[in-house]
Amino acid sequence: MFGYWDALYFVLVFIVGLILAYLLELWARRSGMGTREIGDGTKIFLSGEDPEKVIPGFEHFEGHYTGRNIMWGLTYALKRFFTVLRREHTGLLTDYVSYLVITTAFVLGVLLIWG
Amino acid sequence: MIQFQFITAFLLVVLGIYAFLAKRNLLKLVLALDIIDSGIHLLLISLGYRIELNEIPTAPIYTGYETLKSPMVGPLPQALVLTSIVIGVCVLALAVALTINAYRHYGTLDVRALRRLRG
Amino acid sequence: MNGEMLSYLIIVPLFGAFSMPIVSLAGRRARGAWALLISGTTLAVGSALFYSVWKSGGVFLYTLGAKSPLGQGVNFPIRIVWEVDLFGAIMVLMVTLVSFLAVLYSLSYMKHDTGLDKYYTLIIILELGMLGIAITGDLFNFYVFLEIMSIASYALVAFRNDTWEGIEAGIKYMFVGSIASSLILLGIALLYGEYGTLTMGYLAVKLTQNPTVVGKVALALFIAGLLFKSGASPVHMWLTDAHPAAPSSISAMLSGLVIKIGGIYALTRILFSIYENSVNMKAVGWIIIIFACITLIVGNTMAVIQTDMKRLLAYSSVGQIGYILLGLGIGLAAYGSQTGEIALAGAIYHTFNHALMKALLFLIAGAVIHQLGTRNLNELSGLAKTMPKTTFTFLIGAAAIIGMPPLNGFASKWLIYESSAVFNPLLGAIAIIGTAFCTAAYIRVLYTFFGRPSERAMEAKDPEGTMLWPIIILTVAIIVMGLFPWQISDKVMIPAAKALENQMAYVSALLGGA
pLDDT for res C514? 43
Structural domain tally of chain C?
1
Distance from CA of B14 to the nearest CA of A (A): 11
Task: Identify whether C366 is part of a domain.
Answer: yes
* Cα gap B13→B35, rounded to integer Å: 7
Q: Tell me how crowded residue C411 is: count the other CB atoms within 10 A of its CB.
A: 24
Q: Does C9 touch chain A (CB under 8 A)?
A: no
Q: Which of B20, B40, B77 sits opposite C186 (nearest CB)?
A: B40
pLDDT for res A33? 83
Q: Where are the domains of chain B?
A: 4-113
pLDDT for res A60? 56
Confidence of residue C348 (pLDDT cuts 50, 70, 90): very high
pLDDT for res C135? 92
Q: Does the pLDDT at position C377 exceed 70?
A: yes
Q: Does A46 touch chain C (CB under 8 A)?
A: yes
C window 74-93, beta carbon within 8 A of A? none
Average confidence (pLDDT) over C341-350? 93
Query: C77 has which bridge partners?
Result: C70
CA-based nearest residue in chain B for residue A90: B118
pLDDT for res C221? 95
Residues of A in contact with B115 (CB under 8 A): 90-92
Contact between C71 and C78 under an 8 Å Cβ cutoff? The reply is yes
pLDDT for res C505? 86
Average confidence (pLDDT) over C368-381? 83
Mutation target to probe the C interface, by most C beta carbons within 10 A, among B105, B109, B116 is: B105
Residues of B in contact with A90 (CB under 8 A): 115, 118
Contact between C160 and C49 under an 8 Å Cβ cutoff? The reply is no
Q: Tell me: the pLDDT tens digits for C400-414? A: 999 888 888 888 999
Ramachandran quadrant class, C231 (left: phi over 0; alpha: psi -120 to 50; beta: rest) = left
Task: Identify whether C362 is part of a domain.
Answer: yes
Task: Identify whether C10 is part of a domain.
Answer: no
| DSSP-assigned states of every residue in C176-212 | HHHHHHHHHHHHHHHHHHHHS--BHHHHHHHHHH---
Burial readout C449-472 (b: 16 or more C-beta within 10 A, e: otherwise): bbbebbebbeebeebeebbbbbbe
Average confidence (pLDDT) over C270-291? 91
pLDDT for res C453? 74
Q: Which CATH class is domain B4-113?
A: mainly alpha
Task: Supply the DSSP symbol for C162.
Answer: T
Contact between C93 and C48 under an 8 Å Cβ cutoff? The reply is no
Average confidence (pLDDT) over C476-489? 88
Distance from CA of C103 to the nearest CA of A (A): 32
Which of these ranges, A47-51, C9-13, C122-126, has the smallest mean pLDDT?
A47-51
Task: Supply the DSSP symbol for B54.
Answer: T
CB pairs under 8 A between B and C: 78
Interacting residues of C81 by C-beta distance below 8 A, sequence separation 6+? C61, C62, C63, C64, C69, C137, C138, C199, C201, C510
Q: Tell me: the pLDDT tens digits for C311-322? A: 999 999 999 999
State which residues form the domain around C356: 281-483
* Cα gap C253→A41, rounded to integer Å: 48
pLDDT for res C69? 80
Query: C136 has which bridge partners?
Result: C82
Rounded mean pLDDT of chain C?
90
pLDDT for res C489? 86
Q: Does the pLDDT at position A6 exceed 80?
A: no
Which of these ranges, C228-232, C265-269, C485-489, has the smallest mean pLDDT?
C485-489
SS3 (DSSP) at C261: helix
Give the amino acid at C108: S
Q: Tell me: the pLDDT tens digits for A9-36? A: 778 888 999 999 999 999 988 888 877 7
Average confidence (pLDDT) over C436-442? 93
Contact between C78 and C69 under an 8 Å Cβ cutoff? The reply is yes
pLDDT for res A5? 62
Average confidence (pLDDT) over C217-238? 93
Residues of B in contact with C245 (CB under 8 A): 117
**Do A7 and C224 make contact, defined as CB atoms within 8 angstroms?**
no
* Cα gap B24→B83, rounded to integer Å: 30
Q: Tell me: the pLDDT tens digits for C42-57? A: 999 999 999 999 998 8
CA-based nearest residue in chain B for residue A86: B119
Residues of C in contact with B92 (CB under 8 A): none
Q: Does C484 touch chain A (CB under 8 A)?
A: yes
Q: Does the pLDDT at position A2 exceed 50?
A: no
pLDDT for res C125? 95
Share of chain C above pLDDT 70, in %: 99
Q: Where are the alpha helices (DSSP H) in C196-337?
A: 200-209, 213-230, 237-245, 248-253, 259, 266-269, 281-302, 309-333
Rounded mean pLDDT of chain A?
80
Nearest to C184 by CA among C131, C129, C224, C128: C224
Nearest to A96 by CA among C174, C298, B39, C307: C174
Q: Does the pLDDT at position A52 exceed 70?
A: no
From residue C189, alpha-carbon distances to B40, B83, C65, C214 in Å are 8, 13, 24, 11
pLDDT for res C296? 94
**Do C165 and B29 make contact, defined as CB atoms within 8 angstroms?**
no
Give the amino acid at C123: I
Confidence of residue C303 (pLDDT cuts 50, 70, 90): very high
Nearest to B78 by CA among B42, B39, B34, B35: B42
pLDDT for res C229? 94
Interacting residues of C173 by C-beta distance below 8 A, sequence separation 6+? C153, C154, C157, C238, C241, C242
**Do C304 and A104 make contact, defined as CB atoms within 8 angstroms?**
no
Please measure the distance between the N-terminal and C-terminal CA atoms of chain C and give it in whole angstroms: 8
CA C477 to chain CA centroid, nearest Å: 17
Residues of B in contact with C147 (CB under 8 A): 87, 90-91
Contact between B16 and B33 under an 8 Å Cβ cutoff? The reply is yes
pLDDT for res C74? 79
* pTM across the whole model: 0.92
pLDDT for res A1? 46
Q: Tell me: the pLDDT tens digits for B52-101? A: 777 778 888 777 777 777 788 888 999 999 999 999 999 999 999 999 99
* Cα gap C356→C471, rounded to integer Å: 10
* Cα gap C100→C103, rounded to integer Å: 5
Can you list the pairs that C394-397 forms with residues at least 24 positions away whose Cβ atoms lie under 8 Å?
A: C394/C361, C394/C364, C394/C445, C394/C446, C394/C449, C395/C446, C396/C360, C396/C475, C396/C478, C396/C479, C397/C357, C397/C360, C397/C361, C397/C364, C397/C475, C397/C478
C60-63 and C81-84: which strand pairing? Answer: antiparallel
Confidence of residue C421 (pLDDT cuts 50, 70, 90): very high
pLDDT for res C290? 95
Confidence of residue A45 (pLDDT cuts 50, 70, 90): low
**Do C216 and A99 make contact, defined as CB atoms within 8 angstroms?**
no
